[in-house]
Amino acid sequence: MCQGLSAPSPPCSALLSFTLLLLLLSVVGPVSAWRPWPQSNKMNISDYAFGDSKKYEGSSEFVKLRYHMGPVLTTNITVHTIWYGKWERSQKKIIREFINSISAANSPHPSVAGWWRTVQLYTDQTGANISKSVRLGEEKNDRFYSHGKSLTRLSIQSVIKSAITGKTRPLPINPRSGLYLLLTADDVYVQDFCTSVCGFHYFTFPSLVGYTLPYAWVGNSAKFCPGQCAYPFSVPAYIPNRKPFKSPNGDVGVDGMISVIGHEMAELATNPLANAWYAGQDPSFPVEIADLCEGIYGTGGGGSYTGQVFDARDGATYNMNGIRRKFLVQWLWSHVLNYCTGPNALDH
């Protein structure tokens, strides 16, 4: 039907453009990642802004996620955590259990392990897949804010340097399979936090730190901007008539961090040195596998709608099961399916 380029009859061309529109919507729809950033704060990516958990400015461009030949994390991943500032034991526990859930074999479906399976689909140039095994490594407490309560992208590297060179129990140096996770308490401000990012990942510079170590930073937004970084467990004032969802582990800031931690870990694993899996022309503004699906937690998600998720018995909202707990974690881009997916997808 409607073959050939020579002047199709009007109904035919209308049908054609309608079909094209549908096609465009179905491709662009799941890609319009969303977070409730304040409208007045247009994103301004500063130097060293890579792999941010940020709003993807989805346009009519088709997504061309490409592999740029760099390494991905194919060997067993060990997460070394730096707790910066004051953290409650209960908060640490939620985050540790989320990370432990990634490789847990027997959480009920839909599981965090099922969510990580999308990450495992990505390979390096030898065809080696990203590791299924993610485990917690050593931890470091930076209780007394060694670099103050306001960090820049560069001072973050100094925090990591202190953690790996400290006199007492320094973190192991593990450039090939280590993932350094810096988590800042709710009274710590980090450059661009709340105005354009909730977390980001990059790697340390040998000139500053002595090694090239892939790291991610995620901040607890509970005091500064839960409406942006812990959405939908908190809703900014400018979105009226919308009730926040109840968070699954009773801590809005930390439950909001879980999805950002998942976002950064998935991107770090697939693009640890900013030269592996990303879309877009410019490696300094990469659009990575989680950017493409930000704000999408279930089938039909997009814009401010999370998609189809579940209600727990206590009324909390979640979309996947981990060890002993439930979590709400954003979906990821599958280059096999060519759309965003997660373990709770209805077409699975």
Ligand X SMILES: *[C@@H]1O[C@H](CO)[C@@H](O)[C@H](O)[C@H]1NC(C)=O
What residue ranges bind ligand X (CB under 6 A)?
Answer: 44, 46, 76, 120-121, 123, 129, 133, 336
3-state SS, 93-161, equals HHHHHHHHHCCCCCCCCCEHHHHHHHHHCCECCCCCECCCCEEEEEEEEECCCCCCCEECHHHHHHHHH
How far apart (Å, rounded) are the C-alpha atoms in residues 120 and 122?
A: 5
How far apart are CB 88 and ligand X at their closest, in Å?
A: 29
How far apart are CB 134 and ligand X at their closest, in Å?
A: 9
| 17 or 76: CB nearest ligand X | 76
| 123 or 158: CB nearest ligand X | 123
Within 8 A by CB and 6+ apart from 328, the residues are 232, 233, 245, 247, 248, 255, 258, 259, 297, 306, 309, 317, 318, 319, 320
Within 8 A by CB and 6+ apart from 17, the residues are none
| 132 or 246: CB nearest ligand X | 132
Handedness of CA 60, 66, 70, 72 (dihedral sign): positive
Q: Which two tokens stand for residue 62?
A: 């088709």
Amino acid at site 314:
D
How far apart are CB 120 and ligand X at their closest, in Å?
A: 4
| 46 or 212: CB nearest ligand X | 46
Task: Name residue 78's beta-bridge partners.
Answer: 135, 178
How far apart are CB 103 and ligand X at their closest, in Å?
A: 7
| 60 or 126: CB nearest ligand X | 126
Task: Name residue 80's beta-bridge partners.
Answer: 180
Quickly tell me which residue has 């707790």 as its tokens. Answer: 83
| 20 or 336: CB nearest ligand X | 336
Residue 340: which of 27, 30, 25 has the closest Cα?
30
| 85 or 114: CB nearest ligand X | 114
How far apart are CB 118 and ligand X at their closest, in Å?
A: 9
How far apart are CB 44 and ligand X at their closest, in Å?
A: 4
Q: Are 11 and 1 in contact (CB under 8 A)?
A: no
How far apart are CB 286 and ligand X at their closest, in Å?
A: 18
